[in-house]
Amino acid sequence: MTTALTTSPAAPGVETPDGAYAVRLAHVHKTFGRPGTAAPVLDDISLDVAPGEFVTLLGASGCGKSTLLNLVAGLDRPTAGTIEVPGARPALMFQDHALFPWLTAGRNIELALRLAGVPKAERRAEAERLLELVRLGGAYRKRVHELSGGMRQRVALARSLAQGSNVLLMDEPFAALDAITRDVLHDEITRIWSERKLTVLFVTHNVREAVRLAQRVVLLSSRPGRIAKEWRIDLPQPRRIESAGVADLSIEITEHLRGEIRRHVQQS
């Protein structure tokens, strides 16, 4: 991760006039496999995410969305191209909560705080503050098996925020939840993004989820993943997933997604 540029997060929806960025990908390529048989997964991805911006990555299964997120997180390296994330390493939230079942909700968060260098004397209070932030006040002593799926994802979100980064990477974090719980958590992540002035890069298969949450939707083509099209979302927040504006734009984006899938099938 580069630290050559220091930026301050802008308010959600505000463009930064000096061209500052929270995440920058320049001509990123990624292949897997041995030389001569390597399969391209990502091809020439260039993308800037502004401080405080909420961007969703959308595409068919296998298009490289999660691979791209892992590259930004520093869990893997691109085959070619550069990735810059000024400041602290991004926080990453997975589809699975990945909580340690032998620890309480609070202790799971404290572990992230310890790794982030927070002094021991401050961890308990900070863990409880983060639980309050995700609407789980009083759950500090709860074991993982005592929590519902939605509550576990809230703890996972709090643990991600405990890492102290202004950049939050989310890899289909609500995909396994029922529709009502997912709808509630959409409201929560929108609120937290706005309050904390986070930069969010959010991977999803769900077109309506992408439109409901994002300021910008980036559609990746089928493998190898390339940026096929982008949409800037001007609908005011908070949005409802069933609202007419979300539905209309979702139809348009879905048609482009289907076109990418058809193109991939025809080339196979």
Nearest to residue 40, comparing CAs of 224, 222, 263, 265? 224
* 13 part of a folded domain: no
Q: Considering the domain boundaries, does residue 143 fall inside one?
A: yes
For β-strands 199-204 and 54-58, DSSP reports them as parallel
In a domain, 125, yes or no: yes
Whether residue 155 lies inside any domain: the answer is: yes
pLDDT for the residue numbered 98? 86
Length of the chain: 268
The boundaries of the domain holding residue 144 are 95-164
Structure tokens at 201: 């890069």
- The number of domains in the chain is 1
The span from the CA of 188 to the CA of 130, in Å, is 13
Q: In this predicted structure, what is the pLDDT of residue 268?
A: 57
Q: Spell out the SS3 assignment of the chain.
A: CCCCCCCCCCCCCCCCCCCCCCEEEEEEEEEECCCCCCEEEEEEEEEEECCCCEEEEECCCCCCHHHHHHHHHCCCCCCEEEEECCCCCCEEECCCCCCCCCCEHHHHHHHHHHHCCCCHHHHHHHHHHHHHHCCCCCCCCCEHHHCCHHHHHHHHHHHHHCCCCCEEEEECCCCCCCHHHHHHHHHHHHHHHHHHCCEEEEEECCHHHHHHHCCEEEEECCCCECEEEEEECCCCCCCCCCCHHHHHHHHHHHHHHHHHHHHHHHHC
Is 204 inside a domain boundary? no
Please give the pLDDT value at position 160. 93
- Please indicate, yes or no, if residue 144 is contained in any of the structural domains: yes
pLDDT by residue, tens only, the chain of 268 residues: 432 222 223 333 334 445 689 999 999 999 987 777 778 899 999 999 999 999 999 988 888 899 999 999 999 999 999 999 997 889 999 888 889 999 999 999 999 999 989 999 999 999 999 999 999 999 999 999 999 989 999 999 999 999 989 999 999 998 888 999 999 999 999 999 999 999 999 999 899 999 999 999 999 998 788 999 999 999 988 889 889 999 999 999 999 888 887 776 666 5
Domain-embedded: residue 105: yes
- Domain assignment present for 129: yes
Say what the pLDDT of residue 263 is. Answer: 74
Tell me the backbone φ, ψ of residue 57, rounded to 5 degrees. -100, 125
Quote the pLDDT of residue 123: 94
**What's the pLDDT score for residue 264?**
65
pLDDT at 186: 93
